[in-house]
């Protein structure tokens, strides 16, 4: 079953050679890197939305070194346990988590608004359907998805409700209160704990909370790894330049990662 939806007329897309087409003759070619761009011009608010190429490369370098592998493993184990058929990863970025998810499901779609991130992701795994698209119009058909995942990404609630099957699941991963606390302490005068529980309140009308594990790990970074971590976070542009420069002088830096995972079930 093809899961993709035409972003113009919302009809089903079917694959013809290397082109996705709908019955209304809208067509979208698969790029040579292996992804399809379903982010049509009329839905764009900027020329190059999403992460910068520098941020994408920093994230690829940091994640491939394995520092967030405990989270990746927890996500995979949960998906395996749930026996998911069709999965949509919203905000897939450069594909670190999506690539691992694919092995546990029948069909996996990874979508991100940043074309440069999807271009990098598409080289990882040809069995994932990689899509440049927007959460404002998720590029999959109504009631076609068993599990939507959003790891550190937006949660377009109405669109998720549209694409999920009845009793479908939503997995959200967001920073736990003390995630990377030492780094934030070095970058900002005042450090406010993350507030993951706000998502539970926001989603309570349409989703029932099933599980809420916290995944923690500690690690020590060298100077280059620390620079990559800073560059892949919003802190790269939120922190004052002098504080960032001072932090990046550290040759070794110990950190604790703390991730809040929520598993929600769509209410009837």
Binding site residue list: 6, 9, 22, 26, 68, 94-95, 179
Give the residue ranges of the annotated binding site for S-adenosyl-L-methionine.
68, 94-95, 179
What are 193-199's contacts with CB under 8 Å, separation 24+? 194/260, 196/260, 196/262, 199/155, 199/172, 199/174, 199/262
Q: Which residues are annotated as a binding site for Zn(2+)?
A: 6, 9, 22, 26
The tokens describing 154, both together, are 């937006």
Orientation of helix 53-64 relative to helix 115-122, angle to 10°: 40
Separation between Cα atoms, residue 110 and residue 218, nearest integer Å: 28
């Amino acid at each position: 079953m093809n899961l993709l939806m035409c972003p113009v007329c919302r009809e089903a897309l079917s694959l013809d050679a290397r082109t996705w087409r709908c019955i209304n003759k809208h067509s979208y070619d698969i790029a040579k890197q292996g992804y399809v761009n379903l982010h049509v011009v009329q839905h764009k608010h900027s020329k190059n939305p999403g992460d910068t190429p520098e941020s994408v490369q920093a994230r690829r370098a940091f994640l491939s070194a394995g520092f967030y592998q405990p989270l990746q493993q927890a996500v995979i184990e949960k998906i395996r346990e749930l026996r998911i058929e069709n999965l949509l990863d919203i905000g897939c970025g450069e594909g670190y988590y999506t690539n691992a998810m694919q092995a546990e499901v029948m069909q996996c779609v990874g979508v991100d608004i940043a074309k440069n991130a999807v271009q990098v992701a598409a080289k990882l795994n040809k069995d994932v359907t990689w899509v440049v698209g927007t959460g404002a119009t998720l590029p999959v058909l109504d009631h076609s998805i068993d599990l939507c995942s959003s790891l550190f990404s937006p949660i377009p609630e109405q669109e998720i409700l549209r694409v999920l099957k009845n009793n479908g699941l939503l997995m959200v991963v967001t920073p736990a209160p003390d995630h990377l606390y030492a780094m934030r302490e070095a970058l900002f005068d005042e450090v406010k704990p993350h507030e993951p529980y706000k998502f539970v309140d926001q989603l309570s009308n349409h989703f029932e909370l099933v599980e809420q594990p916290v995944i923690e790990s500690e690690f020590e970074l060298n100077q280059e790894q620390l620079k990559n971590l800073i560059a892949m976070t919003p802190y790269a542009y939120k922190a004052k330049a002098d504080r960032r420069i001072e932090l990046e002088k550290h040759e070794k830096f110990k950190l604790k990662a703390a991730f809040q995972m929520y598993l929600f079930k769509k209410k009837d």
